[in-house]
Structure 1
């Protein structure tokens, strides 16, 4: 396998296309410290020049990665920060699936039921399982389901803290969650790299894969009824091997999408951000390119693993043993004279204490009985 350093040298020689980042994107802090590799700090196209022609994309940023090895095969402004829209729900699901009992039945609040934007249509009835809400979150992008799940997790503040902590654990450092549903809010951001990274973490979870890969499902309604909802991912059932994951759109964020497909035992992830038009055909072409290029091109970076959890270590040789009390001098141990003298002194001190206590109690009793006592 070729090394990233080879691609770096080719980039310096002019083999890679570099463009100025768009004004709406907040750039990565430093090319040399970009998560996943130095080349991923660039803002233009980054790809092995020896590879076959990379499909064109109108997205301001994208990543094509091998989910099995973590290798980034091609990218454009991978660490540029953009509004994520509903693709942020991937982080919501990755964060909350391990924390919530999927069989728990909940009653949404009025705030959850009345949230703006895309919704599954929650009502204030205790008829919804957490499992139903996750399915609505990932299939039909229910903003109301996102808020209801956050409430079940202890509230919006706690859920956002959990989401941002999970992003840091995954090393998705371009991602800042200000809402659980991706509705635009100042300070909220993600990147094509982070979305691919978070989606890869989600695909390792069986429940996550089931939610993002379901085409049609029933959703509870009052009165013991239900209605049918269909997945918004247009590539499910249409692109060979499509697994999921999630699309998003707002007027400020424009179109965004993360998709994963599996062929011949290998999985490719494509993420796109800030796309002005329809991205579905472009995603299909990028997936095709990824399957054709994996194992044949030099990687330009890596989808890193999560931060290792540090576990407390036990002392070598077993639990600590208390040091023995210092031994008394031999004279103090063996001399009967010293022992008798110590006993006499102790008895004298005890007698003095008894006498003082008796006197204090007598004076106290006098004060209680006669307030004129000086």
Structure 2
């Protein structure tokens, strides 16, 4: 059979990862991996980087708070965990989820990283960005870090992961980012901590008051061997997740984007399958090593085709065609019903957008301004 032509922009880690369907190579008698209710996912060996199975691995989607993993990876070497940093009113008034920073109160770098990774505090993200050299410098460093990892589907526009025009990542990139972050001992400590006492307002008699901050990763409490990493949610991104589990000398990493199942049990089922059958699967790709693919692959010559109007069939696409997609509008968020069209960002939706337009053309897109 002739080899399928794929766009090199979508094939970092192996040409099979350019597929928009489930990709897995199993011997006879091994069942397929369990279904996940999401747009894209990737399962890989955390140590070797071998990709065991994936679905739409390079689809560019909104990362929500899983982007905080890249924020932490970038800033842990730059922000002293023992030094104190004073929160500002701008930090405290962050949109979405907050840990509860108080303007004028000091927090150690360690406390801010705990708030960022355990409680997904957007206020902590902005405080850390300031401590790391300011918001523009932090975003520049995050994007430079993504390029170094080979995460070319990733564009960071907000260190908290809140939806921002042009911001994107992919299941493949989240696996690269999560794998790199797990090399840092400090990161591993933050994401496996279940609860900490966090500074609050001074109590009676000037006594320092604290309150409990808990880790939002429910897999950590419910699935044996969980070693991280970070969950996320916005009404447009839906549920996003990077998780990692260690058991019996094997470690796997699982990433998901635009998930529609709020339960931890779906991830647990995938890990059950991985620990039982993962070593019998032939890898379908690999997570590239940091520093080996620092520039995106060269683009082929391309033409631009318009996205069909809802209800109309998608026209045939030639190899290398680029699909023009609606840009995210500044100040708005697009939320999708369970059957909604995924919010592809940039040219990373090539092929996937054509497929999804054809499959989901009749499904409704609703507009919302909710953010979490």
Compute the TM-score of the two structures, normalised by the length of structure 2.
0.74
Give the conservation status (yes or no) of the 8 Å contact 1:66–1:290.
no
1:235 Cα deviation from its structure 2 partner: 1.0
- Measured after TM superposition, the shift of residue 113 of structure 1 is 0.6
Is 2:253 the counterpart of 1:269?
Answer: yes
Shift of 1:275: 1.1
Instruction: State how far apart, in whole Å, the 1-side matches of 2:121 and 2:249 are.
Output: 32
Asked whether 1:146 is paired with 2:125, we answer yes
- Equivalent in the alignment of 1:45: 22
Residue 68 of structure 1: CA displacement?
1.2
Contact 1:125 1:222 in 2 (8 A): no
Q: Measure the CA separation in 2 of the matches of 1:231 and 1:120.
A: 11
| TM value normalised by structure 1 | 0.74
Q: What per-residue deviation string (whole Å, max 9, x for no partner) do you get for residues 190-227 of structure 1?
A: 00011111101111110000111100111112322211
Alignment partner, residue 73 of structure 1: 52
More helix as a share of residues: 1
Kindly provide the CA deviation profile for residues 104-130 of structure 1, in whole angstroms up to 9, marking residues without a partner as x: 101112111101100000011332001
> Is contact 1:221–1:227 with CA below 8 Å preserved after alignment?
yes
CA distance in 1: counterparts of 2:77 and 2:289, whole angstroms: 18
Identify which of 251, 263, 271 aligns with 2:235. Answer: 251
Mark the runs of 5 or more structure 1 residues left unpaired by the alignment. Answer: 1-8, 13-28, 311-374
Match of 2:282? Answer: 298
Taking a change above 3 Å as real, the CA distance of residues 47 and 241 of structure 1, as seen in their structure-2 partners, is same
Distance 1:89 1:114 in 2: 18
Q: Deviations over 1:158-211 (max 9, x none)?
A: 000000000001111100000000000110000001111110111111000011
Is residue 114 of structure 1 aligned with residue 93 of structure 2? yes
Please, what is the CA RMSD of the aligned residues?
1.9
CA distance in 1, matches of 2:240, 2:291: 26
TM-aligned CA distance change 1:44 to 1:257, over 3 Å: same
SS in 1 for 2:222: coil
How far is 1:309 from its partner?
11
Q: Could you tell me how far apart the structure 2 residues matched to 1:114 and 1:66 are? A: 39
- Residues 1:54 and 2:51 are matched in the alignment: no
TM-fit CA distance, 1:31: 4.9
Contact 1:61 1:77 in 2 (8 A): yes
By how many angstroms is 1:296 displaced?
1.1
Q: 1:105 aligns with which of 59, 63, 84?
A: 84
1:11/1:61 CA distance change after superposition, 3 Å: farther
**3-state SS of 2:218 partner:** coil
Which of 155, 158, 162 in structure 2 is aligned with 1:179? 158
| Residue 274 of structure 1: how far off its partner (Å) | 0.2
Whole-angstrom distance in 2 between the partners of 1:251 and 1:11: 39
Count how many residue pairs are aligned between Structure 1 and Structure 2: 286
Q: What SS does the aligned partner of 2:54 have?
A: strand
Going from structure 1 to structure 2, the CA distance change for 1:144 and 1:32 (only over 3 Å counts) comes to closer
Q: 2:147 aligns with which of 138, 157, 168?
A: 168
Aligned counterparts of 1:228 and 1:212: Cα–Cα separation in 2: 16
**Worse-matched range after superposition: 272-281 or 106-115:** 272-281
- Shift of the alpha carbon at 1:237? 2.7
* TM-superposition CA deviations, 1:220-244 (whole Å, max 9, x none): 1232221111111111131010111
- Between structure 1 and structure 2, the one with the greater Rg is 1
- The answer on whether the counterparts of 1:192 and 1:272 sit within 8 Å (CA) in structure 2 is yes
Partner of 1:236: helix, strand, or coil?
helix
Aligned-partner SS, 1:74: strand
Cα pair 2:226 2:245 within 8 Å, conserved? yes
Paired with 2:119 and 2:181, the residues of 1 have a C-alpha distance of 18
Q: 1:134 to 1:168 in 2, by over 3 A?
A: same
Taking the aligned partners of 2:235 and 2:267, their CA distance within structure 1 comes to 20
**Cα distance in 1 between the residues matched to 2:133 and 2:9:** 39
Deviations 1:55-99 (A, max 9, x none): 011110000100011000000000000000000000000000011
- Match for residue 186 of structure 2 among 193, 207, 224: 207
Contact 2:26 2:282 in 1 (8 A): no
